[in-house]
Structure 1
Amino acid sequence: MATFGMEEEYAILDPMTLAPRDEAPAVYRALRVERGESRNIQREFLLSQLERPTPVCETAEAALADLIGFRRRLRDAATSVGVIAASTGTYPLVANPIVLTDKSRYHRVLDEYRHVAKEYFYGGLHVHVGIDDRESGVRAMNALRVWMPVIAALAANSPLWKGEDTGFSSYRIIQLQRWATRGTPPAFVDADDYDRRSARIVGVGGTFDDALIAWNIRLSRKFPTIEVRVGDAQLEAWHSVLVALLIRALVSTALAEEKPADPLHPELIDSALWLAARDGISHRLVHPFTGELEVSRTVVDALLQHTAAALAAEGDAERVTEWIDRLFAEGTGADRQRAAYSAGGLPALAALMRGALAPE
């Protein structure tokens, strides 16, 4: 059974207006001092952001318990500071001027990316899956490329930007295309090819180090993992775990295959990702095996069929099927944010974000 872990990014917001509040250091101190939280919590690019990695997990139960426990502690710490913590792909409102965490690297990012970096009000869900070696990681990367639009659609949770409904389900994906290295990576021959081509990018434009090679799939620089970064931060913990379980199953399936399916052309993957970012699971998606447009539920069912053996072996099949059914019944995070905002404006959206972070 492959291990996995998640990194969740949280926005620190005003409880009334949902504007960014530069109180991440105060929330961090409340978590550390009052809640006994681990040293793993990371201060992010903005003073209104926190990131927290889970421990390495083997089971859905362990991952879900960890996320729920931390989110409750985060909720209480934020409340003690007079803010709310929200798990969302985009902030509903942005700040001008931007207020950075005071690190030299972050200041260089701002210097290199200029206005693009001034709009970095995003939160992602980054999923790591353990691999035996880098060659296995490249094999998995190549196979996962065609599935990134489907994962993006299921994980869409960023419909709002600057106080407006963008009409997109994952506006975060659209915005991040402005960065120097984003989107789905090319196919690689092997690990040496991955390393060689990655090294050529460093130093070009804003990519001043390898951490800024922010493809939707990449090999971790620190851990023996493949990292998938396409998903928005999720409203609820169960949704984050669902995304992680699907990605783990895709990696396991890829490494068990003797011969992967013929890949889609990169331009079709890019177009499929754009469509997924716009519509989520509400209409149609590109089928990874045929390249044809199909009803989104049909394409998601193809994902479940493709990974059925891995999901069964990992004990996740029943849970994942139940959660997928729930997702299509209730909607993605984007659907729920849009509905709340349409029905009751910022107060209703704030209530959704506060309640979804750690439901009782």
Structure 2
Amino acid sequence: MTATTLGVEEEFHLVDPATGALVASQQVAAAAVMGQAGPHVQPEISQTQLETATGVCTTLAEVRAELLATRREAVAAAQAAGLTVLAASTHPSAAPEDLVLTDAPRYRVMVQRWAGLATGQDICGTHVHVGVDDLNTAVHVMDRARPWLPLLLAMTGSSPFHDGADTGYDSWRTLWWSRWPVSGPPEALGDAAGYRAVVASLVASGMVPDGSQLYWDLRPSTHVPTVEFRMGDVCTDLDDVVLHAALCRSLVAVLARDEAPAPVVRPEVLRAARWKAARAGLTGELLDPVTAELVPARAAVDALLALVAEDLDARGDLDEVRGLTDQLLARGTSAVRQRQVLARTGDPGAVVRDLLELGGTAG
């Protein structure tokens, strides 16, 4: 049955726990490549990064427990080299020049294909997989979820700084990632045949070898029966990851049952909504996916909760999700907190230390 299962992947930066500096570790990267960094820890393209993947979950309690366990597993893998992991989409003060490529065939092929796009990849993200019955269901959901993706992004912002400077964005990662020609919100695809036709055309163009290298904000997985939400920043606070996963799953459940035609949204408008969400997160106005008008962020979030409330209630998750949402709206995203810490201390190192403490990765 669609949307009964979910799993979460998180990407982290490797940092020195004493100084907060970004550190490339061949030792940690090699262990991850060889599957020796832990059963849920995987390598990433840079030796300054690690990725984790939860098991398949059916309840939010399982999601929370799995996330806590996988974060601890990543910390343990990093501690083997005297390091720890940082749960934020960009490092507050590191520069792209600090990156060192992970030595694995997959990443060498990516660099050969993407050149400087791959070698400058100093951003981390959160991916949520939600189980679907088949590819037609995945595409059906994707076509109807497109207007909601910017709002989900706005609730996760954790990348206000890049290369030591305040970018003015809650999610600079979104702008950085937008340089890739296979990123961003996909166009409406119609059905499985439409998706396969697009993939075949992109393969024929030489851009990608297969669907696994389509880095859209939302895509069907090529290796498990899920639809994968990829637009989120890394949520520093575990509560925010749980909230993000819950909303993604219930959105899939609701939209899978929606028999109305998919909403027609111009790509220019969707890109503008995505930019707006990355720019100010929950501190400004967002595009209401129902009315296509700018509204206060709270109103946009309320519209999403209204859409998924019945599904959340049926799962017994409604009170928890409402509580997590109120908490997020009251305190703001990780990006808001990072700026507050920097304004209070004037010290980027203090920002890193706060992120480590908040993310439970201080080691």
| TM-score category, normalised to shorter length | over 0.9
Matched letter for residue 338 of structure 1 = R
Select which of 23, 26, 32 maps to 2:25.
23
TM superposition shift of 1:331:
0.8
TM superposition shift of 1:24:
6.3
TM superposition shift of 1:335:
0.9
Matched letter for residue 350 of structure 1 = V
Matched letter for residue 66 of structure 1 = E
Matched letter for residue 26 of structure 1 = V
Question: Structure 2-normalised TM-score?
Answer: 0.92
Matched letter for residue 20 of structure 1 = L
SS in 1 for 2:10: strand
Q: What 5-or-longer segments of structure 2 have no aligned partner?
A: none
Structure 2: how far apart are the matches of 1:37 and 1:102?
Answer: 15
Equivalent position of 1:297 in the other structure: 298
Equivalent position of 1:90 in the other structure: 90
SS in 1 for 2:216: coil
- Is residue 13–residue 86 contact of structure 2 (8 Å, CA) maintained in 1? yes
Greater Cα offset, 285-294 or 111-120: 111-120
- Is residue 10–residue 49 contact of structure 1 (8 Å, CA) maintained in 2? yes
Structure 2: how far apart are the matches of 1:24 and 1:315?
Answer: 44
Structure 2: how far apart are the matches of 1:149 and 1:205?
Answer: 29
SS in 2 for 1:96: helix
Equivalent position of 1:14 in the other structure: 16
**2:322 corresponds to 1:314:** no
Deviation string 1:53-111 (CA, Å, 9 cap, x unpaired) is 10000000011011112323433443453222011112231242631111233123223
Alignment of 1:319-330 (within 5 A): 319-330=320-331
**2:336 corresponds to 1:341:** no
Structure 1: how far apart are the matches of 2:228 and 2:77?
Answer: 29
TM superposition shift of 1:265:
1.9
Greater Cα offset, 84-93 or 296-305: 84-93
Equivalent position of 1:58 in the other structure: 58
Equivalent position of 1:352 in the other structure: 354
Structure 2: how far apart are the matches of 1:341 and 1:84?
Answer: 21
Percent identity among equivalent residues? 34
TM superposition shift of 1:339:
1.6
Alignment of 1:209-224 (within 5 A): 209-224=210-225
Matched letter for residue 309 of structure 2 = A
Q: How many residues align?
A: 357
- Is residue 28–residue 80 contact of structure 2 (8 Å, CA) maintained in 1? no
Structure 2: how far apart are the matches of 1:24 and 1:303?
Answer: 43
Structure 1: how far apart are the matches of 2:264 and 2:343?
Answer: 40
Structure 2: how far apart are the matches of 1:45 and 1:76?
Answer: 20
**2:266 corresponds to 1:268:** no
Equivalent position of 2:106 in the other structure: 105
Structure 2: how far apart are the matches of 1:359 and 1:105?
Answer: 28
Structure 2: how far apart are the matches of 1:151 and 1:197?
Answer: 25
- Is residue 99–residue 122 contact of structure 2 (8 Å, CA) maintained in 1? no
SS in 2 for 1:221: coil
Equivalent position of 2:45 in the other structure: 45
Cα distance change on mapping 1:172 and 1:188 into 2, 3 Å: same
Structure 2: how far apart are the matches of 1:42 and 1:15?
Answer: 21
Greater Cα offset, 257-266 or 41-50: 257-266
Matched letter for residue 107 of structure 2 = Y
Matched letter for residue 308 of structure 1 = A
SS in 1 for 2:205: coil
- Is residue 19–residue 94 contact of structure 1 (8 Å, CA) maintained in 2? no
- Is residue 262–residue 289 contact of structure 1 (8 Å, CA) maintained in 2? no
Greater Cα offset, 121-130 or 341-350: 341-350
Equivalent position of 1:193 in the other structure: 194
Equivalent position of 1:181 in the other structure: 182
Structure 2: how far apart are the matches of 1:279 and 1:97?
Answer: 28
Structure 2: how far apart are the matches of 1:260 and 1:16?
Answer: 54
Question: Structure 1-normalised TM-score?
Answer: 0.93
Q: What 5-or-longer segments of structure 1 have no aligned partner?
A: none
- Is residue 72–residue 357 contact of structure 1 (8 Å, CA) maintained in 2? no
Structure 2: how far apart are the matches of 1:145 and 1:139?
Answer: 11
**2:133 corresponds to 1:142:** no
Structure 2: how far apart are the matches of 1:312 and 1:230?
Answer: 25
Equivalent position of 1:116 in the other structure: 117
Deviation string 1:84-139 (CA, Å, 9 cap, x unpaired) is 20111122312426311112331232233222223200111000000111111111
Deviation string 1:239-284 (CA, Å, 9 cap, x unpaired) is 1111010000110010122215633222111100001000000010
SS in 1 for 2:50: strand
Deviation string 1:217-236 (CA, Å, 9 cap, x unpaired) is 10000011000100011102
TM superposition shift of 1:330:
1.1
Equivalent position of 2:68 in the other structure: 68
TM superposition shift of 1:51:
0.9
Structure 2: how far apart are the matches of 1:180 and 1:109?
Answer: 14
